[in-house]
Amino acid sequence: MAAPVVAVVGGGQLARMMAPAAAALGVHLRALVEEPTSSAAQVICDSRVGAASDEAAIRALVAGSQATHGRRSAAPAADTPEGVSAEARAADVLTFEHEHVPNALLEQLVAEGHPVRPDAAALVHAQDKIVMRRRLGELGVPCPRWVELPDAAALEAFLAQVGGTAVVKTARGGYDGKGVRIVRSVAEAADWFAASQADGGSGIPLLAEEKIPFTRELAVLVARRPSGQMRAWPVVESVQVDGVCAEVIVPAPGLDPAVARAATVLALEIAEGLGVTGVLAVELFEVPGTGGGAPTVVVNELAMRPHNSGHWTIEGSMTSQFEQHLRAVLDLPLGESTARAPWTVMVNVLGNGLVDPVDALAAVTALDAGAKVQLYGKSPRQGRKLGHVTVMGDDLTEVRARAAAAAAVLRGATSR
Amino acid sequence: MAAPVVAVVGGGQLARMMAPAAAALGVHLRALVEEPTSSAAQVICDSRVGAASDEAAIRALVAGSQATHGRRSAAPAADTPEGVSAEARAADVLTFEHEHVPNALLEQLVAEGHPVRPDAAALVHAQDKIVMRRRLGELGVPCPRWVELPDAAALEAFLAQVGGTAVVKTARGGYDGKGVRIVRSVAEAADWFAASQADGGSGIPLLAEEKIPFTRELAVLVARRPSGQMRAWPVVESVQVDGVCAEVIVPAPGLDPAVARAATVLALEIAEGLGVTGVLAVELFEVPGTGGGAPTVVVNELAMRPHNSGHWTIEGSMTSQFEQHLRAVLDLPLGESTARAPWTVMVNVLGNGLVDPVDALAAVTALDAGAKVQLYGKSPRQGRKLGHVTVMGDDLTEVRARAAAAAAVLRGATSR
């Protein structure tokens, strides 16, 4: 057999961080990237420029036979066992680093015999929050109270029902806090209603959720193979700032072991129940127990791909989420997913004006020779995820402080 | 500043394994590869085909301005801060994954202002064993007794001096046991003498070394920056089979702490003494102490690049030798180089007929979900280094057995 070929839709940092795992496994990675200079295109040689919504681009990505932007497109194929270069071969599987792919096309590809993982039937739950909430309800998974919002009257009624504050979301297309708004009146969502009802109601549907009085946010990352094998990483605490992940602490400090087990079982049940293949991130709210009981968890969001809450696994676990995702979509046995250190903390490096974190490589290691830096090769822009830092150790307070200090240096703070 | 550009000569697995480290640091890697399908060319997008002995190819690699085989050669440069794509920029530094580069050219490049690390003055000690032995002698570094072999008479005399057995080596071009032969008579080296004296004595010179009665082979890997900072990884035991590294055990089991310290100091002194920049591997013989004293070490070989004895660092140390090499040649502060587990064992996967280790990915992880596999994307060929396996744990016997079993599966053994 020749090297397995994995085609991935998307050219961001998630596809980029699949590249080292693919190289280690001898897997040929092929990416559909937004631009020739996209984050992933810098490190995935077989990158092809095209839109995730472009049927022809996706088909070419899967087929592999079409002319490619790849360096080796004109290369002699003599070194491959069966005489066909990896660039020219059809992908063994199509996967994703984001959910913005037309589902009808994915169904067609599967019907034509091309494995798509996760498949359209699973992926829709990460694409459409109404479908997700409906299905999680059927599975008996704890969720916030929620309601579809066909019109403003529905929000009016829901606000009355949940005590005056609701979280309004667009069913599709949101990420990093976009497409989410906390409202106390219909007026505060008027623009979204107008947009959703545009073109005779063909806009993006809305839903409203009760605002959960959570104590903190947790996340569980699991991976599942088509053959059913699953593995989970430890439950993490995810600290969000303005709807964007800022810090991930592994394991979630002080988490009741029973709650950790329950959260993990929940994530595995969701992966199984939705038929997910690949990595699934389940974002949770931790809610205080009633009457002195143990806390409980409520599902906030799902993502069916490597996720920011799992970046710590690159150095912090024996198997990174990126390797595990490749393993899962290729239906290879999954690797060990325990944490390698008592405490691991990951801090995102968000864009700070025109500061380029690559300029701080010397300063950050001079400050902390044990801080692991991952940069994404992106142009600096305010608030953009440009990289992250991971620190491991025995003392949580120290590990958090080190990770924060290293990230600050990468954002341009002057080190000591 | 834009991403630093590191140009590396060579397209084998050592350059390949620099790619993940470069991606993490946001460093642009550019490789001079033997073929479009070379191991490194599969994962380094800016790979250019050419010979290490070709001045024009090396100059183009450094200059970056020339047309490239790179995918992004025709890409718009809009996303780079200063409007020049990384492919088109001159390299910030030239480095190597092997020593077979013309030294005169490297000296010219330095004279023209292009940093070359390690530089020609250091690299010559890894290129020419006669120069190396002479210089190590000057530095007072313990070496085997040795002699240059201008003619057969010199070997005759040396054999008499060392008790009848000598190790004859070609001064240049040897690796993995090639260019090394144990002889008991001049006749056994007759063909080499003929070759070395060919063309009026312009062939490759020979030297002879005493055969050291070593108990085992050790290796010390260190890294040194141009500014002088150095870091060492723990001393390892290297198990050789037929002159090829088969297994590396970290740390070297049962090694007298004083000997470990002495070996580390020796390696650091060599790095300093020879002015090495980048990673330096010092291969050592451990020799029993005389009169009940502690064992001593004797220098066998040097390599000025990432080395097989350091592959364990990818998962086994906080900073891999590949990341450290990039840091060192870019004169960035060096990362932590301690071992992450009590025991780490690396076993090479050598070619076994036409068995392709990629076909055993499922079997090896089914056998051992904690065994870390690194494959090199090479066509199978008997005895060729196709990949390696690393296993970490608390019990050495178990870790060695697991690593051996995983490597055996990748070589085609049927797993249980």
Residues in chain A within 8 Å Cβ distance of B36: 71-72, 75-76
ipTM of model: 0.94
Residues in chain B within 8 Å Cβ distance of A327: 365
Give strand pairing partners of A302.
Answer: A282
For chains A and B, what is the number of CB pairs under 8 angstroms? 173
A379 and chain B: CB distance < 8 Å anywhere?
yes
Could you tell me the pLDDT band of residue B201, with boundaries at 50, 70 and 90? low
The Cα A415–Cα B141 span in angstroms is 40
Structure tokens at A370: 């044990």
Any idea which residue has 């002015």 for tokens? B275
Q: Do B365 and A332 touch (CB under 8 A)?
A: yes
Interface of B with A in 81-110 (CB under 8 A): 81, 85-86
Interface of B with A in 275-294 (CB under 8 A): none
DSSP-assigned letter for residue B306? -
Of B113, B124, B95, B112, nearest to B327 by C-alpha is B95
Q: Are strands B180-183 and B166-170 parallel, antiparallel or unpaired?
A: antiparallel
Q: Do B372 and A24 touch (CB under 8 A)?
A: yes
Residues A372 and A315: beta-carbon distance below 8 Å:
yes
pLDDT digits (tens, 9 = 90+) for B369-394: 999 999 999 999 999 999 999 999 99
Q: Do B19 and A20 touch (CB under 8 A)?
A: yes
Residues in chain B within 8 Å Cβ distance of A375: 24-26
The CA–CA distances, whole Å, from A304 to A40, A220, A348, B171 equal: 19, 12, 20, 57
Residue B204 has pLDDT above 80, yes or no: yes
Residues in chain B within 8 Å Cβ distance of A80: 37, 379
Residues B297 and B262: beta-carbon distance below 8 Å:
yes
Residue B16 has pLDDT above 50, yes or no: yes
Q: What integer best gives the mean pLDDT of chain B?
A: 93
The Cα A318–Cα A382 span in angstroms is 33
Helix (H) or strand (E) holding B314: helix B313-316
pLDDT digits (tens, 9 = 90+) for B237-268: 999 998 899 999 999 999 999 999 999 999 99
Structure tokens at B65: 């301005």
**Cα-Cα-Cα-Cα dihedral sign, residues B115, B117, B118, B124:** negative
Kindly report the nearest CA distance between residue B23 and chain A, in angstroms. 7
Q: What integer best gives the mean pLDDT of chain A?
A: 93
The Cα B402–Cα B389 span in angstroms is 10
The pLDDT value given to residue A83:
60
- A300 in a labelled binding site: yes
Q: What angle do CA B298, B299, B301 make, to 5 degrees?
A: 150
Q: Binding site: what residues of B are annotated?
A: 129, 169, 209-212, 217, 300-301
Q: Residue A354: exposed, middle, or buried by beta-carbon count in 10 A (0-12, 13-18, 19+)?
A: exposed
pLDDT digits (tens, 9 = 90+) for B268-307: 999 999 999 999 999 999 999 888 888 999 999 999 999 9
Residue A71 has pLDDT above 80, yes or no: no
Interface of A with B in 21-40 (CB under 8 A): 23-26, 28, 35-37
**Number of residues assigned to chain B:** 416
Kindly report the nearest CA distance between residue B151 and chain A, in angstroms. 42
Domains of chain B with CATH codes: 5-116 (3.40.50.20), 145-210 (3.30.1490.20), 216-410 (3.30.470.20)
B215 and chain A: CB distance < 8 Å anywhere?
no
Could you tell me the pLDDT band of residue A291, with boundaries at 50, 70 and 90? confident
Residue B186 has pLDDT above 80, yes or no: yes
Identify which of B42, B319, B361 has the shortest CB distance to residue A25: B361
| CA of residue B202 relative to chain centroid, distance | 27
Could you tell me the pLDDT band of residue A201, with boundaries at 50, 70 and 90? low
Identify which of B26, B358, B375 has the shortest CB distance to residue A1: B358
The pLDDT value given to residue A199:
66
The CA–CA distances, whole Å, from A311 to A252, A315, A322, A391 equal: 15, 9, 9, 11
Of A299, A297, A309, nearest to A261 by C-alpha is A297
CB neighbour list of residue A354: distance below 8 Å, 6 or more residues apart: A380
B225 and chain A: CB distance < 8 Å anywhere?
no
Identify which of B26, B340, B358 has the shortest CB distance to residue A377: B26
Structure tokens at A87: 């660039």
The Cα B253–Cα B286 span in angstroms is 12
B153 and chain A: CB distance < 8 Å anywhere?
no
What is the percent of chain A where pLDDT is above 70?
94
Could you tell me the pLDDT band of residue A1, with boundaries at 50, 70 and 90? low
- A315 in a labelled binding site: no
The Cα A32–Cα A38 span in angstroms is 10
- Mean pLDDT over A96-111 rounds to 94
Kindly report the nearest CA distance between residue A353 and chain B, in angstroms. 13
B71 and chain A: CB distance < 8 Å anywhere?
yes
Identify which of B26, B72, B318 has the shortest CB distance to residue A370: B318
Q: Are strands B28-33 and B46-49 parallel, antiparallel or unpaired?
A: parallel
Structure tokens at A333: 């046995």
The pLDDT value given to residue A84:
78
Phi-psi region at B173: left, alpha or beta (left = phi > 0; alpha = psi -120 to 50): left
Phi-psi region at A366: left, alpha or beta (left = phi > 0; alpha = psi -120 to 50): alpha
Residue B194 has pLDDT above 50, yes or no: yes
The Cα A68–Cα A19 span in angstroms is 18
Helix (H) or strand (E) holding B396: helix B396-410
Residues in chain B within 8 Å Cβ distance of A69: 71
Structure tokens at B257: 């702490």
Of the listed ranges A194-203, B15-24, B156-165, the least confidently predicted one is A194-203
**Number of residues assigned to chain A:** 416
The Cα A213–Cα A288 span in angstroms is 8
Could you tell me the pLDDT band of residue B414, with boundaries at 50, 70 and 90? confident
* Backbone torsions φ then ψ of A222, nearest 5 degrees: -135, 160
Residue A79 has pLDDT above 50, yes or no: no
Kindly report the nearest CA distance between residue B31 and chain A, in angstroms. 13
Residue B96 has pLDDT above 70, yes or no: yes
